[in-house]
Chains A and B, each alone.
Chain A
């Protein structure tokens, strides 16, 4: 079982990279399609709602200090019901991992390596992640420390080299956003990536000295600002028309870098660094799935769980959605409701049951007196 811990800084980087992970590739184009030139505002209100949810999870974690969400389920609901809900969370993390790995496979197939079978990406990526998962959270934290500056640097270089294509006219007319309509249309943005950060309910007990509150909140807030900035830059460089038609506008921005007729076609190099962010997201969700099963069934060695999970995740990744359009359709119609279950309803249920049980115990002890 995991006993090593990560520092507050590593926790912050994990939250930041995890939240950006696949969202930074998939969300800007979709947001610009629905909300046009004001799309950059959507991550801000989603981030705000995500922060409120984050505070709620932090309260839950504080109430059950030192326990992961699976352990909280067992404590509050007892062995049978707790195991059932714990398994639900384990499934959720497995499902999340399969989405992430499928997003990666779709991206690689559609952009850089169209002839390589998508399963090759899934298996190879999962294999690397499995190694990280077996090594433990401290290793994942250290890798994140090493990779995040590279991701940040690559993004910065891409935006700087594309600065010549900037046009402020692309933001006109400004602030035409209908807030309520935008909330309804883009509610899936709250689900993915912000509700998905509920996975950190598994990681909180592993943060050194329990200092996870500030890093977690900072990570959520900063990633929402970054998503907003990336969407803003995408509009300014590509324009609403192109960005809303492209599956991966960020990739197109990198592909069209032409700096002084000298630096061109650097999309493969830049993509390689951006994939590090996906690596962090996949590793964290995979780690949570492994840890959840280990905690439920008292398994000491993570490798025993992690290796079989490779096949399960790779299988679900292939069968869950046939293509990226199906995935987006599912995301638009059901993701918000699906994520609500794990990020709000079950935690609420846990709090309610613990409150009822505490009151019941107190009431019982008063009666016995």
Chain B
């Protein structure tokens, strides 16, 4: 046999080994790409209601000028968390569920209050899913959120992610450290975690893509309402949007912080750009003191003062801002203490300390309540925008 003839089958056999990859082949046309996941407790059973919002590729690919099509479809299953994925989805969905690129997970308030441990294990333990996605708690019935088209952003999951990231960048009211993995890390250390609460504005869900033709942007849309406070894996309370700001500032969750001050009877709005925070827990005799120092470069973004813009005014703004931070932070800490929330993670800080004396102090689980907190703020105005001297209108 000439060499070329016997080499051919060998090459074919060797090349056929490459087909081994076909077992895990993922053809994009056979995938149901999940964009948003929702979980709720089922009322009458111990099962969960699971919502998978799947992208409709044809809806996404709508040409300019053509009417808007449904960009997503929501599938609802009532099953136990671990069962549904492989067992139930093929009954309804003609494609293979693909969850590697989902943007956010929304859980109902009642489900959050019952504990998310099972959900976290389910997501963390599967190679395709993972926990590097934003976790939101729904104040509204979850089907209303999962069954609604949202203006401007064709994918609701993407919309939620953008809102979180924009808020984080602009106001600091929401931190980007609100992913499922952040809850996992705090769950076992007993630290508090805060995740955004979203609600639905409107009486009923916007189930039809015709909603995208309406001019009303606010109605029939989702909005961020505040924060859901978790201890271990359970939601135990709520923070208002304003409280979220203080929580994020005092826990170094974000560098941005936006505040409106009233000086000389007129408004001034300031925004910190790169907030730095130093926490130091000290023992003075038997008294524990937590020193928190806040440093930031501040941007004056709105100035409606009628007095001339001078260094005296800036000193006044800086002093007022520093005072506001100290006062409001203390108020937030005191309010939280009354509710039994260790929002500064003082008990956890006690565990991080070395030495027998600190270990003894950490054994008292309510020690954090007796710690004195001293806050000092050091802000300096760095930029003032394009209006150096505001118009007086006189």
Interface of A with B (CB < 8 Å)? Answer: 110-117, 120, 124, 127, 169, 172-176, 239, 241-242, 245-246, 252, 255-256, 258, 261, 265
Option from A113, A127, A239, A261 in Cβ contact (under 8 Å) with B23 = A113
Q: Which residues of A contact B353 (CB under 8 A)?
A: 172-173
Find out whether the CB atom of A112 lies under 8 angstroms from the CB atom of B127: yes
Q: Is B214 an interface residue (CB 8 A)?
A: no
Find out whether the CB atom of B20 lies under 8 angstroms from the CB atom of A116: yes
Find out whether the CB atom of B23 lies under 8 angstroms from the CB atom of A256: no
Q: How far is the CA of A6 from the CA of B127 in the complex (A)?
A: 40
Tell me how far the C-beta of A173 lies from the nearest C-beta in chain B, rounded to whole angstroms.
4
Q: Which residues of B contact A174 (CB under 8 A)?
A: 354
Find out whether the CB atom of B185 lies under 8 angstroms from the CB atom of A239: yes
Q: Is B188 an interface residue (CB 8 A)?
A: yes
Q: Is B394 an interface residue (CB 8 A)?
A: no
Option from B21, B100, B132 in Cβ contact (under 8 Å) with A116 = B21
Find out whether the CB atom of A241 lies under 8 angstroms from the CB atom of B189: yes
Option from B24, B100, B181, B354 in Cβ contact (under 8 Å) with A113 = B24
Size band of the interface chain B makes with A: 20 to 34
Find out whether the CB atom of A114 lies under 8 angstroms from the CB atom of B181: no
- 8 A-B pairs within 8 Å (CB atoms) are namely A115-B24, A124-B17, A173-B353, A241-B184, A255-B130, A256-B181, A258-B132, A265-B101
Find out whether the CB atom of B354 lies under 8 angstroms from the CB atom of A242: no
Find out whether the CB atom of B352 lies under 8 angstroms from the CB atom of A120: no
Q: How far is the CA of A261 from the CA of B354 in the complex (A)?
A: 39
Q: How far is the CA of A323 from the CA of B185 in the complex (A)?
A: 27
Q: How far is the CA of A245 from the CA of B21 in the complex (A)?
A: 29
Secondary structure type dominating chain B contacts = helix
Having A241-B184, A265-B101, one finds 11 other A-B pairs with CB under 8 Å, namely: A114-B128, A116-B21, A116-B23, A124-B20, A169-B352, A173-B353, A176-B354, A242-B181, A255-B132, A256-B132, A265-B100
Interface of B with A (CB < 8 Å)? Answer: 17, 20-21, 23-24, 100-101, 124, 127-128, 130, 132, 165, 181, 184-185, 187-189, 351-354
Q: How far is the CA of A90 from the CA of B295 in the complex (A)?
A: 64
Tell me how far the C-beta of A238 lies from the nearest C-beta in chain B, rounded to whole angstroms.
8
Q: How far is the CA of A169 from the CA of B349 in the complex (A)?
A: 9
Q: How far is the CA of A240 from the CA of B377 in the complex (A)?
A: 32
Q: Which residues of A contact B185 (CB under 8 A)?
A: 239, 241-242
Q: Which residues of A contact B184 (CB under 8 A)?
A: 241-242
Q: How far is the CA of A255 from the CA of B23 in the complex (A)?
A: 21
Q: How far is the CA of A242 from the CA of B185 in the complex (A)?
A: 6
Given contacts A169-B352, A173-B352, A241-B188, A110 and B23 within 8 Å (CB-CB): no
Tell me how far the C-beta of A270 lies from the nearest C-beta in chain B, rounded to whole angstroms.
14
Q: Report the nearest A residue to B128, measured CB to CB.
A: A114
Tell me how far the C-beta of A302 lies from the nearest C-beta in chain B, rounded to whole angstroms.
19
Find out whether the CB atom of B24 lies under 8 angstroms from the CB atom of A114: yes
Tell me how far the C-beta of B82 lies from the nearest C-beta in chain A, rounded to whole angstroms.
16
Given contacts A172-B352, A256-B181, A115 and B127 within 8 Å (CB-CB): no
Q: Which residues of B contact A120 (CB under 8 A)?
A: 20, 23
